[in-house]
Structure 1
Amino acid sequence: MEIKRKRKLIGYANLLDQPIRFSPFLFSRDFWLWALLGLIGGSIAGVYWITLESFMHVLEGFEGWSVIPLMTVAGLLAGLIIHWIGDPGEIHLIVNNIRFNKGKLNPKNNPSMILSSLICVAAGGSLGPEAPLVQVTGSTGTWLGKIFRLKGEKLRTYSIAGMASGFTALFGAPLGGSLFAVEILHHKHMLEYYRAVIPALVASCFSYIVFALIIHLGLGPTWNFPQYSYEGIFDFGYAFGVAILGSAVAWVFVFCTKGCKKAFEWVSMPIYVKTTLGGLILGLIGYGFPITRYFGHHEINEVIGLNLSWETLLLILGMKILAISVTVTSGWRGGFIIPLFFVGTCLGLALCQLFPGLNPTLTWVSCMAAVNACVTRTPVSTTILLSVLTGFGHFVPILIASLTGYFLAPRVPFIHSQLKKIEAENA
């Protein structure tokens, strides 16, 4: 009995030593830290976007033959920044660090990433600001976690939440951005990072609010697609059939990128030589096909309004795939999600020209979903993002197209670090 009494006294003493909690809700310090992370991430994204738009407004005035020297010089400047300040890496490195480096994204890479990506994207490279924003906001999450001495899964969670705030700011879709940050890490086992979903959602919501306030973002869709009206059960079959063609185009992109990578690695050269050579090639493509310049955020609406023939659209599609591949492999910085959406749009437009009976909006969105899901292995978040970006109110056809692209993807992912470590060693 004496021992039991002593145990009770020790238990009561431990209870008294704990801080008194008055809140009956789930609010905790973590919630406010996730919110703070979202506010910081949204602010970073807003400043980055305004700066990028300002640079683009100046550099888009270069037209015709002047695009060639402009992009060549831009490649040289970006390469010199990477050479002097340090290589910030690509989305492959970000995914690898989150999965295999205890969730740490190093903030010391941010100056190089910000400066080089601003030059590359503003000059007209075929990659968007997704990867730079994710690197900066994700490393901000790591930095905030280290301040509060977080380790293990908690630190990884803050890095993922930071990534989600960057995705959300760019796409304007908190749910889609949150799931994309989790889904892109592992194409098979998304639930491996289920603990990060709620933190990512909280950070994304606060990031979206701040970003919308800074750049005066509205709630409407980004791209002006015609309103889709359901015409029957066969629409699902059309989405599946079109998605097969979209997956084939994604395979072309993967092989084109691998070919360009081998070409740039054929002769060992400094990074600034590689980026300069890439800029020259991109300048030549941009001179011949001006619509392929830039990453597609504004160009998707532009190509929809041009009413081009299917032959011209397929030619633009091929040149855009080449431009993205050269941009990725020559050391230019940026992300390829929105550029892949542009490729899908061109394919959808060409199919509608070849087969006038197809529903335009259904065809365009299905192609966009299949191409992106096949390359990035993100069928769930791709579906949500496209429903927000295009205003396509019917969820199921996009999901069918995304899943088709996902299951027809190459066995070895385009983002190689999505594999498990053992799988990556054996691949």
Structure 2
Amino acid sequence: MVRQPPPTAPPAPARALLPLILPAAVVGVAAALVFVGVSRAAEQLQHVLWGPLPDALGVGRYSVPWMFVMLTATGLAVGLVVWKAPGHAGPEPATLGLDAPVLAPFVLPGLVLAVGLMLAGGPSLGPENPIIAVNIALAAWLGGRLVPRAEDGMWPALAEAGTIGAMFGTPVAAALVISEALAGRPMRGRLWDNLFASLTAGACGALTTTLVSRPSFDLGLPPFGHPRWGDVAAALVIAPASALLGMCAVYGFPYVHAAFRRLRHPMLMLPAGGVVLGALAAAGGQLTLFKGLDEVAELARAPEGRSAGGFAALAVVKLAALLVAASCGFRGGRIFPAVFVGAALGLCAHALVPGVHPAVGVSTGVLGMLLAITRQGWVSLFTAAVLVSSPAVLALLCIGSLPAWLLVTGRPQMQLRADGTPVR
């Protein structure tokens, strides 16, 4: 008996997709403006805290005493917000990923203030998780009132896509993340029909960010030509090695988080985290501060300027700072600091073996680290690729992702359940 293939779902008609364009575009633009606004406000505060203020006090901008003071003070300030703000600046950040829950509107001011203080003060976290949570809450609240008959889950999906598009400057990242989230779920219509609204939101978010702030992820590394056999070997070694280093932080996450949780109060947990981060900054220097995107660009400007040991030390200190900041209660994401760790590890490989091209080392190092920290395959591949702006590196990244993914899949993630056990 010949088995008939399963019937394919009919495509969504254009009249069903056309009404989604306007709300998706509005959400994408609004998500980008929130992201740019919070980022710029934090940058202005960072400029004051790490520039005119220490100059006026007669201390070095990045001296060890000032780093200790600033990181401890940031812990105190964020701890006060978490303690006193309505909603306590959102749920426990260790339990959140990119797919944030829909928060009540009264929680958002405290969350925005907490992430702004964190970004300006120097802890090693990025803005992605809190900004996605803010945009999802705003979109769900406003959209539910303006279009009450909208499909359940539409507004959060649009807000997440718009924010991811805004952060990475391209809708491709949003489409890839949403397609990964759709895997295993029942879909009505074809995949592209289901991605249509999210792609629209991501495109509008990316275009808004590009027009307003003109972000760039290109690190300006030496151009990479055609792959060689040595590049294949490097990808097969560096990506899993970076993933293994990232898994060290993942396995340590529940224990470090539990240690800070024993302090029980945000006014103890966060300042204690600030003190530890100050010690790490004293060991690693100013490049190990902040979310890491500007710092990794500075690191990549002179790949010959440090020894292999120097790059390795930066990678280890930054990873430890990411682990502490994510464990003690700071509101922030882990993608951008993980990019710094992976890039430093890739440059370490180049310093050890000069035959390893810097672009290959950085991209595969970032790929392995992001696979371990985020467990988001498309985000890891895409971020690693845009850092070097070379289409030829894509095949190497796909090859390097295979052993790295085998090392991380099915293992604990850097995300905890409410009872403190890791998500798998």
Q: TM-score range by the shorter chain?
A: 0.7 to 0.9
Q: Distance in 2 between matches of 1:378 and 1:426?
A: 14
Please name the residue that 1:43 is paired with: 33
Superposed counterparts of 1:190-209, under 5 Å: 197-209=195-207
Q: Distance in 2 between matches of 1:164 and 1:67?
A: 36
Shifted more, 142-151 versus 165-174: the winner is: 142-151
Change over 3 Å in CA distance of 1:124–1:271 after alignment to 2: same
Change over 3 Å in CA distance of 1:96–1:412 after alignment to 2: farther
Instruction: Say if 1:37 and 1:162, in contact at 8 Å, map to a contact too.
Output: yes
Please name the residue that 1:269 is paired with: 264
Instruction: Say if 1:282 and 1:323, in contact at 8 Å, map to a contact too.
Output: yes
Please name the residue that 2:6 is paired with: none
Superposed counterparts of 1:133-212, under 5 Å: 133-147=131-145, 148-150=147-149, 154-181=151-178, 183=180, 189=184, 197-212=195-210
Please name the residue that 1:13 is paired with: none
Q: Distance in 1 between matches of 2:187 and 2:369?
A: 25
Q: Which amino acid aligns with 2:135?
A: T
- Report whether the alignment pairs 1:57 with 2:47: yes
- Report whether the alignment pairs 1:260 with 2:277: no
Superposed counterparts of 1:233-248, under 5 Å: 233-248=229-244
Q: 1:25 Cα deviation (Å)?
A: 6.0
Q: Which amino acid aligns with 2:279?
A: L
Please name the residue that 1:376 is paired with: 374
Q: Which runs of 5+ in 2 are unaligned?
A: 1-12, 52-60
Q: 1:263 Cα deviation (Å)?
A: 1.9
> Paired residues, what number?
388
Q: Which amino acid aligns with 1:239?
A: A
Instruction: Say if 2:143 and 2:155, in contact at 8 Å, map to a contact too.
Output: yes
User: 2:290 is matched with which residue: 290, 294, 300?
Assistant: 294
SS in 2 for 1:390: coil
Please name the residue that 2:218 is paired with: 222
- Show CA shifts across 1:18-77 (max 9, x none): xxxxx9766532221111111211221221122122112122323211111111111111
Instruction: Say if 1:179 and 1:380, in contact at 8 Å, map to a contact too.
Output: yes
Instruction: Say if 1:67 and 1:283, in contact at 8 Å, map to a contact too.
Output: yes
Please name the residue that 1:93 is paired with: 96
Q: Which amino acid aligns with 1:225?
A: L
Instruction: Say if 2:24 and 2:200, in contact at 8 Å, map to a contact too.
Output: yes
SS in 2 for 1:315: helix
Instruction: Say if 1:126 and 1:293, in contact at 8 Å, map to a contact too.
Output: yes
Superposed counterparts of 1:68-87, under 5 Å: 68-85=68-85, 86-87=88-89
Q: Distance in 1 between matches of 2:226 and 2:75?
A: 47
- Report whether the alignment pairs 1:349 with 2:347: yes
Instruction: Say if 1:126 and 1:323, in contact at 8 Å, map to a contact too.
Output: yes
User: 2:110 is matched with which residue: 105, 109, 112?
Assistant: 112
- Show CA shifts across 1:285-342 (max 9, x none): 2233221111111111222235111112211111111100110001111111011111
Q: Distance in 1 between matches of 2:381 and 2:210?
A: 22
- Normalised by the length of structure 2, the TM-score is 0.83
SS in 2 for 1:334: coil
Q: Distance in 2 between matches of 1:202 and 1:426?
A: 31
Please name the residue that 2:3 is paired with: none
Q: 1:231 Cα deviation (Å)?
A: 3.4
Please name the residue that 1:231 is paired with: 227
Q: Distance in 2 between matches of 1:30 and 1:415?
A: 34
Q: Distance in 1 between matches of 2:46 and 2:416?
A: 32
Root mean square deviation of aligned Cα: 2.7
Q: Which amino acid aligns with 1:404?
A: P
- Show CA shifts across 1:262-286 (max 9, x none): 3213x34211210011111112222
Change over 3 Å in CA distance of 1:74–1:190 after alignment to 2: farther
Percent identical residues = 21
Change over 3 Å in CA distance of 1:150–1:323 after alignment to 2: farther
- Show CA shifts across 1:151-170 (max 9, x none): 6xx33132022012112212
Q: 1:191 Cα deviation (Å)?
A: 7.8
Q: Which amino acid aligns with 2:153?
A: R
Please name the residue that 1:313 is paired with: 311
Q: Distance in 2 between matches of 1:402 and 1:144?
A: 40
Q: Which amino acid aligns with 1:175?
A: V
Q: Distance in 2 between matches of 1:305 and 1:404?
A: 29
- Report whether the alignment pairs 1:29 with 2:19: yes
SS in 1 for 2:126: coil
Please name the residue that 1:18 is paired with: none
Q: 1:223 Cα deviation (Å)?
A: 1.9
Q: Which amino acid aligns with 1:76?
A: L
Please name the residue that 2:400 is paired with: 401
Change over 3 Å in CA distance of 1:250–1:353 after alignment to 2: same
SS in 2 for 1:298: helix
Q: 1:362 Cα deviation (Å)?
A: 0.9
Instruction: Say if 1:386 and 1:392, in contact at 8 Å, map to a contact too.
Output: no
Instruction: Say if 1:300 and 1:345, in contact at 8 Å, map to a contact too.
Output: yes
- Normalised by the length of structure 1, the TM-score is 0.83
